[in-house]
């Protein structure tokens, strides 16, 4: 997988600190911004996060380009509703030879891998055959077909042929979340009980934002790094190891 932070609010920590300070200040935001030093912004953000005063954190957002993940992963990702998503379309993009993601457990089992690869190849062949048959049926009887009509018929054919695609199909997506949503996302998806692929995506996203807003995301990660494990009897039982991992994450 590839996770890249492609854009974010400039000076995110200064923006958050200024927004929070405005709540308690008689002066305007411009004056607050001018006087705010990096050190004081960091100190104020730590106080803010400890208090749980989270609304100012919503003023900064981060946009990621994510590639090399499966549709299984994006089905989970888009359940996080306070966010914006733009995903590569299977309706408009013809993918005769789609790439696919192989789960580690399958790749490590030769017999399972052989069955999996056969299923992927069958899906590819079925997609090609179905889209070809549908295109031919739409073109049947036409004496002359313009380039525009050809494009429309192909689009119509692949929008139904895509129904044979597996969840393993590789996809690309652009995701934008504000910092508060990201913190919640990390609590849910950096957990050891999260599915392995979205867990990996969440870890990479966290590394990206820690580089540009280290104080905001200083305590980010699964919920257990800030308190008891919320999973109860379903806990992974590795809280000490998990805390060490996220404390040292850069």
Residues forming the active site? 189
Contact, 199 vs 189, CB < 8 A? yes
For β-strands 2-8 and 61-70, DSSP reports them as antiparallel
Neighbours of 40 (CB within 10 A): 13
CB 219 within 8 A of CB 226: yes
d(CA 136, CA 121): 23
Q: Which residue has the tokens 């803010």?
A: 48
Q: Which residues pair with 218 in a beta bridge?
A: none
- CA nearest neighbour of 73 among 205, 196, 204, 221: 196
Q: How far apart are the C-alpha atoms of 206 and 250, rounded to whole Å?
A: 9
Residue 112, classed as helix, strand or coil, is helix
CA 189 to CA 202: how far, in whole Å?
6
CA 186 to chain CA centroid, Å, is 11
Angstrom distance (rounded) from CA 146 to CA 131: 19
- β-strands 2-8, 170-178 pairing: unpaired
Show the beta-strand stretches assigned E in 88-161: none
């Amino acid at each position: 997988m590839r996770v890249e932070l492609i854009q974010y609010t400039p000076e995110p920590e200064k923006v958050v600190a200024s927004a929070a300070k405005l709540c308690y200040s008689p002066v305007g935001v411009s004056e607050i911004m001018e006087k705010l030093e990096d050190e004081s912004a960091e100190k104020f953000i730590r106080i803010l996060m400890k208090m749980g005063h989270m609304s100012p954190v919503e003023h900064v957002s981060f946009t990621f380009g994510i590639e090399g993940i499966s549709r299984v992963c994006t089905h989970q990702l888009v359940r996080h509703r306070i966010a914006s998503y733009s995903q590569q379309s299977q309706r408009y993009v013809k993918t005769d030879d789609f790439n696919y993601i192989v789960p580690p457990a399958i790749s490590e089992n030769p017999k399972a891998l052989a069955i999996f690869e056969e299923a992927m190849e069958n899906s590819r062949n079925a997609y090609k055959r179905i889209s070809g048959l549908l295109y031919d049926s739409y073109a049947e009887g036409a004496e002359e077909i313009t380039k525009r009509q050809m494009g429309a018929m192909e689009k119509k054919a692949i929008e139904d042929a895509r129904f044979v695609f597996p969840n393993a199909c590789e996809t690309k997506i652009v995701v934008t979340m504000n910092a508060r949503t990201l913190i919640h996302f990390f609590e849910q998806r950096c957990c050891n009980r999260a599915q392995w692929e979205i867990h990996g995506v969440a870890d990479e996203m966290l590394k990206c934002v820690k580089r540009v807003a280290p104080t905001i995301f200083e305590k980010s990660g699964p919920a257990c790094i800030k308190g008891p494990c919320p999973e109860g009897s379903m806990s992974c039982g590795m809280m000490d190891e998990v805390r060490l991992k996220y404390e040292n994450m850069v």
